[in-house]
Amino acid sequence: MMLHGLGAVFLREMILLKRRFKRYVVGVAISPVLYLVAFGTAMGTEARFDGHTYLEFLLPGLVAMTTMTQAYGTATEINIARFYLHIFEEFQSAPISNVAYVLGEVFSGMTRALLGVLVILGLGAAFGVSLHTGPWFWLAAALNAFAFASLAVLLAMLVTGHGDQALLNSFVITPMAFLGGTFFPLDRMPEWAQGLLYALPLTHASQAIRADAFGQPALWAHFAVLAAVGVAVFAAALVSVGRARD
């Protein structure tokens, strides 16, 4: 009973995704293609990172970044539904729990994120890079998507308009995309900076995804941090939905 309505929230998002699927794929692919061309090919094959070319190093980072951006994209969808279409009222006035609503939105964000991983893997193949994608790879991607989709719901409930949403993207997502172990190895950073960067969930996602992609065991701590952040943010999102009834 607690989860009644989850399907309706999820289905709505999936219908919209299906209707905009080509735009979605282009949207997912455009930035990674630029990074792959600009950074990957420019660095050539001579520079080695842990025994891998820069393209091989970069691709798992792009997977992590894409799960983050696509999952967090849920915030924009909720923002439109809340302030422009007012569809959020339809969910608020329906006999469904906050858990059902948040899970419906989080699962839709995770679906977008995991489809985005497939797009990145396809792009990697087009650039001649293929990764090992075992269960730990997908678990890290899913946990990262869960954490950022939950964050998307939380922040979408806290903002008071479209402008705030754009501001949050600039302050939260953009810095994390560049600093979360996506584009460079963290061990080349000063120790104090490494300490800061390990506070970012994306760093743990990048590390875990990259480890499995290179056929190495990922540290359990990365998964633990991602799960802990996910659960905490999800709980905050539940509270925020209740408080959104001004």
Asked if 19 is part of the footprint of other proteins (rule: CB under 8 A), the reply reads yes
Question: Shortest Cβ distance from residue 91 to other proteins (Å)?
Answer: 7
Is 76 an interacting residue with respect to other proteins (CB under 8 A)? no
Applying CB under 8 A, among 4, 23, 48, 132 the residue interacting with other proteins is 4
Report if residue 132 touches other proteins, rule: CB under 8 A: no
Q: Is 63 within 8 Å of 144 (Cβ atoms)? A: no
**Cα 152 from Cα 155, distance rounded (Å):** 5
Does 8 contact other proteins by CB under 8 A? Answer: yes
d(CA 140, CA 157) in angstroms, rounded, equals: 26
Q: By C-beta, is 85 or 221 nearer to other proteins? A: 85
Q: Which of residues 95-124 bind other proteins (CB under 8 A)?
A: 95-97
CB neighbour list of residue 161: distance below 8 Å, 6 or more residues apart? 83
> Of residues 179-198, which lie at the interface with other proteins (CB under 8 A)?
none
Give the nearest distance from C-beta 6 to other proteins in angstroms. Answer: 10
- The sign of the torsion formed by the CA atoms of 55, 57, 63, 65 equals negative
**How many binding residues for other proteins (CB under 8 A)?**
24
215 touching other proteins, by CB under 8 A = no
User: Could you say which of 170, 215, 217, 245 contacts other proteins (CB under 8 A)?
Assistant: 245
CB of residue 113 to other proteins, shortest distance in Å: 21
Euclidean distance between CA atoms 4 and 127, whole angstroms: 44
Nearer to other proteins, 10 or 72 (CB): 10
Dihedral over alpha carbons 107, 113, 117, 119 (to 10 degrees): 110
Burial, 46: exposed, middle or buried (Cβ in 10 Å; 0-12, 13-18, 19+)? exposed
CB nearer to other proteins: pick between 18 and 188 = 18
Residue type at 214? F
Are the C-beta atoms of residues 59 and 213 closer than 8 Å to each other? yes
Angle between helices 220-243 and 201-213 (to 10 degrees): 140
Q: Which of 22, 163, 188, 246 binds other proteins (CB under 8 A)?
A: 246
Residues at the interface with other proteins (CB under 8 A): 4-5, 7-8, 11-12, 15-16, 19-20, 85-87, 89-97, 245-246
